[in-house]
Amino acid sequence: MEFNAIYVIVARELKKFLREKSRLFSAIARPLLWLFIVGAGISRLVPRDTGMPYTQFIFPGIIGMTILFSSMFSSISIIWDKEFGFMKEILVAPVSRTSIVVGKALSGTIVSTIQASVILALFPFLGFQLSLIQIMLVLLICVSVSFCISSFGIVLATFYESYESFSVIMNFIIMPMFFLSGAMYPVKLLPDILKIVAQLNPLTYGIDALKHAIFPDGMGQMSPDFSLLSCASVIIGTSLVFVFVASRSFERKG
């Protein structure tokens, strides 16, 4: 791996992100809407005796949503780079395909983690009391989940050439990924078929890990669905697979 190349790919992406302030704003508006409008509305339907207020229950899910949207959409930069030809400049350079994928994934990771941190900072308003260790743990999980979802987005982006077809497939994938991730309702309450789908979704484990960190002693229905160890292994394992697959499909075509 070439660290100079990874560094400069990340630096370029961040420079562009910072020049485009509206992206940060719109990326944060969506989770706020879900947290305080959708979440507050649904919480009226949820019985009080489930262990915690519904708005608290969805907090990890909303952090996960922030990461999902921002990581998946950061891979659009690959489509733009292909459309405007810049990808060729990167691909003819003496840089391993893995470095290119890692550089792009780290850019997505940093941008997503920044946005997730803004949402995380709202925890006092939702009645949580998080210790410094918990906050550090949440950030660590955010970094790993962002990396995982970003590299998943990159895998998809390597198969598409145009913005139109890519955004269609993105919208087709993102919403099911969000609804079948345990973000809005516990995976254990889903019907069997959907439960299987949720278990194939890496975001499920990311959000579950966040639940472990944010309400470690959550009980009953609202408790996490998997063990922290299995969440960690799935996130790390799938990240490696995604980086590998993306690097392979960046190899020359034809």
Partner 1 sequence: MSIIRVENLVKKFGNITAVNDISFKVEEGTIFGFLGPNGAGKTTTINILCTLLSPTSGRALVAGYDCMKEPASVRKSIGIVFQDTTLDKDLTAYENLVFHAYLYDVPKIEMKDRVNDVLNFVDLYNRKDDTVKKFSGGMKRRLEVARGLIHRPRVLFLDEPTLGLDPQSRNNLWEFIAELPKKHAVTIFMTTHYLEEAEVCDRIAIIDNGKIIATGTPDELKKIVGGDVVYIRTSDNVNAKREIQRSFGFDVLEKEGELYMTCSMGDTCIPEMIRTIGEKVLTVRLQRPTLNDVFLKLTGKAIREEEVSGEGSILESIRAYRRRH
Per CB under 8 A, residues contacting partner 1 are 2, 4-5, 7-8, 12, 15-16, 19, 84-96, 252-254
Q: Following DSSP, what letter does each residue of 63-89 receive, concatenated?
A: HHHHHHHHHHHHTHHHHHHHHTSHHHH
Task: State the minimum distance, in angstroms, from the CB of residue 103 to partner 1.
Answer: 10
- Taking a C-beta distance cutoff of 8 angstroms, is the pair 186, 211 a contact? no
Q: What is the rounded CA–CA span in Å between residue 139 and residue 57? A: 18
Planar angle of CA 182, 54, 63, nearest 5 degrees: 50
Task: State the minimum distance, in angstroms, from the CB of residue 99 to partner 1.
Answer: 10
CB of 25 or CB of 84, closer to partner 1: 84
User: What is the residue whose two structure tokens read 């100079």?
Assistant: 4
Q: What is the rounded CA–CA span in Å between residue 234 and residue 57? A: 22
Rg (CA), the chain: 18
CB of 48 or CB of 252, closer to partner 1: 252
CA 80 to chain centre: 20
C-alpha count within 13 angstroms, C-beta hemisphere, residue 117: 12
CB of 90 or CB of 174, closer to partner 1: 90
CB of 26 or CB of 88, closer to partner 1: 88
CB of 5 or CB of 68, closer to partner 1: 5
Task: State the minimum distance, in angstroms, from the CB of residue 92 to partner 1.
Answer: 5
Planar angle of CA 178, 218, 38, nearest 5 degrees: 40
Task: State the minimum distance, in angstroms, from the CB of residue 51 to partner 1.
Answer: 49
CB of 161 or CB of 219, closer to partner 1: 161
Task: State the minimum distance, in angstroms, from the CB of residue 220 to partner 1.
Answer: 51
Task: State the minimum distance, in angstroms, from the CB of residue 43 to partner 1.
Answer: 43
